[in-house]
Amino acid sequence: MRRLYANAWVVTMDDAGTEHPSGWVLVEDGLVAAVGAGSGPEAEERVDLSGAVVTPGLVNTHHHLYQTLTRARAQQADLFTWLRELYPVWARIDAEAEYAAARAGLAELALAGCTTVFDHHYVFPRGRDGLVEAEVAAARELGVRFIASRGSMDLGESDGGLPPNELVEDIDAVLADTERLVRELHEAGPGARVQIAVAPCSPFSVSRRLMEDSATLARRLGLPLHTHLAETMEEEAYCLELYGCTPVEYLVDLGWLAGDVWCAHCVHLSLKDVDTFGATGTGVAHCPTSNLRLGAGVAPVHALTSAGARVGLGVDGSASNERSDLLFEVKQALLVARGRGGPAALTARDALRLGTRGGAAVLGREDIGSLETGKCADLAVWRTDVLELGGADDLVAALVLSAPHRVDRLVVGGEEVVHGGALVHADEATIAHEHRVQARRFAA
């Protein structure tokens, strides 16, 4: 069936940045069949969007959904202090809690316009099975695209790492479980709804051997590879002491940095590091709210994009950014870029590009991130008759500058998963209630 979304300001995010202030999007078989200006072609179903802004669905490139269970903890702490306080609490995670957490976080993301979510899960307490499966079930139920990760930690306190020993795993078990999840869940090729990434947690919680073996496994199976990197000054000091080099130099030494890799944060980069990211095509998940919340600093996004690095946005886990709202993160990226580099450092449209096209590039997905013929019909519809947008002629810039906003409709692969500002496949109030029931088990 052909469905025409008409009477809209369509932001395509194609290479030329084409917009149709009075335009339409034609959807057929889960794909964008055509986009254009004017009243549009005939279709079996015509949806009049009354002047709404239509953007590509937003793409979240870094999250820890389980952290919705532990918001507003360690409020004045730096990263390492925050982690040390939270690791023992997170050790209580099981599949039931993970499912409730994922449903809550994914619902928040969907209602704020996000159609594709990457989640970095790395807490796997011994004997608690089904954690990644629980997240995937929640994503399938709500209808969003999901890239899960089989994260890992194997460098416990007694070996000089940061996490407690009870939270670290055996390398062979990690690798075998990753392969199992890939066999059972990973979809390859355009339109994939569920994928698996290989994602050892960080240089201060993973051994050199697990970093190397993870990269080898990812490259053998053709999977994307991810980790945290250069988030804080403390991490840099830790790496200098343990490995005799900076976090980025360490990853270069491991043979990690390449076009199939993206790293979260990348706040503390030297000019040489920035060049290395550009030259190798390594991606960055820029998480400005989380970086501000933990007082970590601001990533050099302008320098990174100028050097040719791929940059997308991430909300990061809800224990360091209590809100899972990627449109708000688009605005935050704009604000921190301007705080760092002045008012021309990042335009509203370039910030929105980071949250759509940029995120798709970071995740290695050519089939999403823009509204062009043949791409997945993943789109976010934003009403323009709301209080916050009154008085604006440039509705696209205003959408970013006045964020956050709740999306009116969210379409994933041609299917509406949010309609009239409400989830189509689940009940928001029920999700919120069940999430609170599980969160009580994690009370301080």
In the complex, the residues that contact Zn ion under the rule CB under 5 A are 316
- Closest distance of CB 82 from Zn ion, Å: 11
- Closest distance of CB 89 from Zn ion, Å: 16
In three state form, how does the secondary structure of the chain look?
A: CEEEEEEEEEECCCCCCCEEEEEEEEEECCEEEEEEECCCCCCCEEEEEEEEEEEECEEECCCCHHHHHHCCCCCCCCHHHHHHHHHHHHCCCCHHHHHHHHHHHHHHHHHCCEEEEECCCCCCCCCCCCHHHHHHHHHHHHCCEEEEEEEECCCCHHHCCCCCHHHCCCHHHHHHHHHHHHHHHCCCCCCCCEEEEEEECCCCCCCHHHHHHHHHHHHHHCCCEEEEECCCHHHHHHHHHHHCCCHHHHHHHCCCCCCCEEEEECCCCCHHHHHHHHHHCCEEEECHHHHHHCCCCCCCHHHHHHCCCEEEECCCCCCCCCCCCHHHHHHHHHHHHHHHHCCCCCCHHHHHHHHHHHHHHHCCCCCCCCCCCCCECCEEEECCCCHHHCCCCCHHHHHHHCCCCCCCEEEECCEEEEECCEECCCCHHHHHHHHHHHHHHHCC
C-beta of 154 vs 316, nearer to Zn ion = 316
- Closest distance of CB 320 from Zn ion, Å: 7
- Closest distance of CB 62 from Zn ion, Å: 6
- Closest distance of CB 228 from Zn ion, Å: 5
- Closest distance of CB 236 from Zn ion, Å: 17
C-beta of 179 vs 322, nearer to Zn ion = 322
- Give the nearest residue (CB) to Zn ion: 316
C-beta of 123 vs 418, nearer to Zn ion = 123
C-beta of 289 vs 305, nearer to Zn ion = 289
C-beta of 213 vs 316, nearer to Zn ion = 316
C-beta of 54 vs 79, nearer to Zn ion = 79
C-beta of 260 vs 316, nearer to Zn ion = 316
- Closest distance of CB 257 from Zn ion, Å: 18
